[in-house]
Amino acid sequence: MRAKKKIISSKSFTISFAIILTLADLLFLIFIKYHDQDLPLSDFRLMYIGNLLDFIFSAILILALLIYSFQKGKNYKPGVILTYTILTSIILILAVLSTRIDLHLPNIYILDHPLRKVVTGILFSIYQFLVFLQIMLIWQLIFGAKELIFLRAFINSFALTFILLSISFFYIHFNLGLKEKFPFKKNQTNVAVVLGAAVWSHNSVSPSLASRVDKAVELYKKGIVNKIQFTGGNAPGELSEAEVARDYVKPQGINPNNLWLEKETNSTLEQVKFIKDSLLAKKKVNHIVIVSDGYHLTRVKEICKFFHIKTYVSASGLDLSVEHKLYYRLRESVALTVFWLFAL
């Protein structure tokens, strides 16, 4: 009898500890998402897709733990629950620390992202995968699975990851080709913000950057905007993306006073923050039109929603092969999912 009470007490403690730690991880993640972008927690919106996903996954895990706590039988594995719960929290802490500590990593780029950011993204992704793994393991224990539960949980977690990425992929797909609408007066201070893109050797524009600049110039000549803001930093020994874009425009005779430069940002997230903190907060700007490649604009709009800023978007005329379209959309699917979940 005492042994049975001891087991029940141990089980209650384990489940309670796991639930508290899961809630703590969720609250910590939400805090980090807003704190790292210099946003007050009052800006938090549950119905924003990324926040909603965070809450749904945590709620499913907590529900599984609660149901499991009321089950009777021998299919109880306190070591498994404790191990995965603690490991998940440790990985989350390591992911956050990687954004604050200089890891002295080589200055190399992977898929146009510095290695430091790639490592951070991997750590956050491992955290999310461990959350999926906990969900799958506990639900299998609830349904009495006894064979190959770890392998099944691993496979099911990959399946859930695939579903999440597929949702992002189709979300991007169905947002492509939406008609551009600029319902504002043309005599106001309207700015086309050209998001930075790769600079090729000898400080020449890449096709992506050239097509973005060409689109901004088109908006300027149509009178939709009367200022063009170039953004983007540089790699060592090169001109910034903003400077290369400006030099590309010079032969077209646009008044230099109408060409603005920003040379410090190195990511889409940083460029949207620049729009919020510098253009909208410090300059008398009526409307912003963000110019980028079509496949990129869905994520741009999601970042703008997160920052609670109203902008318009305009797709460049970049012509891509079928293979490149698929590649960039797949890459954007991963980037959008990571932003939704972690604001990275």
Rounded mean pLDDT of 201-229?
92
CB atoms within 10 A of CB 281: 10
Each residue's pLDDT tens digit, 131-164:
999 999 999 888 877 788 889 999 999 999 999 9
Residue 20 has pLDDT above 80, yes or no: yes
162 and 199 both lie in a single domain: no
Residue 279 lies in a domain: yes
What CATH number is given to the structural domain containing 291?
A: 3.40.50.620
Residue 129 has pLDDT above 60, yes or no: yes
Instruction: Categorize the per-residue pLDDT at 238 as very low, low, confident or very high, splitting at 50, 70 and 90.
Output: confident
Q: What is the rounded CA–CA span in Å between residue 138 and residue 32?
A: 27
37 and 154 both lie in a single domain: yes
- Which of 112, 145, 175 marks a domain boundary? 175
Residue 32 has pLDDT above 80, yes or no: yes
Residue 1 has pLDDT above 60, yes or no: no
Q: What is the rounded CA–CA span in Å between residue 84 and residue 78?
A: 10
In sequence order, the β-bridge partners of residue 199 are 205
Residue 27 lies in a domain: yes
- Which of 126, 148, 175 marks a domain boundary? 175
Percent of the chain scoring above 90 in pLDDT: 66
Using a 10 angstrom Cβ sphere, with 0-12 exposed, 13-18 middle and 19 or more buried, the burial of residue 101 is exposed
Q: What is the rounded CA–CA span in Å between residue 153 and residue 151?
A: 5
For the chain, the average pLDDT equals 89
Residue 337 lies in a domain: no
* Alpha-carbon dihedral angle through residues 43, 48, 49, 52, given to the nearest 10 degrees: 80
Positions of E strands within the chain: 109-110, 113-114, 190-194, 199-200, 204-205, 227-230, 259-261, 287-292, 312-315
CA 151 to chain centre: 29
147 and 226 both lie in a single domain: no
Q: Which letter, b or e, does each residue of 222-244 get, where b requires 16 or more Cβ atoms within 10 Å of its Cβ? A: eebbbbbbbbbbbeeeebbbbbb
Residue 325 lies in a domain: no
Instruction: Categorize the per-residue pLDDT at 12 as very low, low, confident or very high, splitting at 50, 70 and 90.
Output: confident
8 and 154 both lie in a single domain: yes
202 and 309 both lie in a single domain: yes
Q: Domain total for the chain?
A: 2
Residue 104 lies in a domain: yes
Give the per-residue pLDDT at 5: 47
Residue 344 lies in a domain: no
In sequence order, the β-bridge partners of residue 261 are 230
Nearest residue to 335 (alpha-carbon basis) of 210, 199, 123, 172: 172
- Six-digit token string for 231: 């953004």
Q: What is the rounded CA–CA span in Å between residue 207 and residue 132?
A: 40
Q: For the chain, give percent helix, strand, coil, nearest 5.
A: 65, 10, 30
Give the per-residue pLDDT at 31: 97
Residue 150 lies in a domain: yes
CB atoms within 10 A of CB 253: 7
Q: Considering only residues 193 and 9, tell me which one the structure prediction assigns the higher pLDDT.
A: 193
Instruction: Categorize the per-residue pLDDT at 231 as very low, low, confident or very high, splitting at 50, 70 and 90.
Output: very high
For residue 79, the enclosing domain spans: 2-175
Q: What is the pTM of this model?
A: 0.90
Each residue's pLDDT tens digit, 253-306:
899 999 999 999 989 999 999 999 999 988 889 899 999 999 999 999 999 999
| Poorest-pLDDT segment among 85-89, 94-98, 172-176 | 172-176
Residue 183 lies in a domain: no
- Which of 175, 202, 230 marks a domain boundary? 175
Give the per-residue pLDDT at 73: 61
166 and 222 both lie in a single domain: no
CA 71 to chain centre: 38
194 and 169 both lie in a single domain: no
